[in-house]
């Protein structure tokens, strides 16, 4: 029975690297994978890219993409062994349920990778639904500068100061976000 998995972590925990390794494992054994990433994140062009230099081409989704239909159509044309979704926090609630149907009805395992919370400690829509309905929740570990597990994503400005207000989604890497433990996240926001 295929399952819906949610691999979540703070920034810089290796989510994309882990996704690309999982895809490689399937492909190495002669099985096709279907990779997806959010269209809103255009930093890597049409690819999923990790900070350690691994990358692979991927389909792009936005809020209007019917993932179930697109995946089922591709699977009918040529069997897909596994679907892997990067930046899963940007999925809509409806898309998460579509991915659940891919696992439940089409019979393809779906591995989603994303952030749990935003820069204010609030759940993203896609992450909230995944936390609620995924068959398996796997936390990947990031490390705070103090050595503790980083679970929060602090948004910073050009000078490295904490940003306390703004839109939930602002694309960026190490120049805009710092992974911190909850204690250091709270201290940075209260400064």
Are the C-beta atoms of residues 69 and 118 closer than 8 Å to each other? no
**87 an active-site residue?**
yes
CA distances from 7 to 32, 70, 127 (A): 21, 22, 10
104-126 per-position pLDDT tens digit:
999 999 999 999 998 888 899 99
CA distances from 1 to 76, 81, 115, 121, 138 (A): 19, 12, 26, 34, 18
How far apart, in whole angstroms, are the C-alpha atoms of residue 163 and residue 80?
A: 42
Question: Looking at residue 102, what DSSP letter applies?
Answer: I
User: Mean pLDDT over residues 180-187, rounded?
Assistant: 92
Phi and psi, residue 154, nearest 5°: -90, 125
Confidence of residue 172 (pLDDT cuts 50, 70, 90): low
User: Mean pLDDT over residues 39-45, rounded?
Assistant: 66
How far apart, in whole angstroms, are the C-alpha atoms of residue 175 and residue 154?
A: 11
Domains by residue range for the chain, with CATH? 4-141 (3.40.50.300)
How far apart, in whole angstroms, are the C-alpha atoms of residue 96 and residue 125?
A: 9
Per annotation, catalytic residue among 28, 72, 73, 87:
87
Q: Is the pLDDT of residue 74 over 90?
A: yes
92-107 per-position pLDDT tens digit:
999 999 999 999 999 9
Q: Is the pLDDT of residue 166 over 70?
A: no
pTM of the model: 0.90
């Amino acid at each position: 029975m295929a399952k819906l998995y949610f691999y979540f972590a703070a920034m810089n925990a290796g989510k994309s690297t882990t996704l690309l390794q999982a895809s490689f494992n399937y492909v190495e054994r002669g099985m096709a994978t279907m990779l997806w990433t959010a269209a809103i994140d255009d930093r890597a062009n049409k690819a999923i890219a990790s900070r350690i230099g691994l990358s692979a081409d991927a389909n792009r989704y936005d809020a209007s993409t019917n993932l179930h239909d697109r995946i089922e159509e591709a699977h009918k044309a040529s069997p897909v062994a596994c679907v892997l979704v990067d930046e899963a926090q940007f999925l809509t609630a409806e898309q998460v349920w579509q991915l659940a149907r891919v696992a439940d009805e089409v019979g393809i395992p779906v591995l989603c990778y994303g952030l749990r919370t935003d820069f204010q400690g609030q759940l993203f829509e896609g992450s909230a639904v995944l936390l609620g309905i995924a068959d398996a929740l796997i936390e990947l570990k990031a490390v705070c500068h103090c050595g503790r597990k980083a679970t929060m994503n602090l948004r910073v400005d050009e000078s490295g100061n904490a940003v306390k207000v703004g839109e939930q989604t602002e694309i960026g890497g190490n120049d805009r976000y710092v992974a911190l433990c909850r204690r250091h996240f709270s201290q940075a926001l209260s400064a």
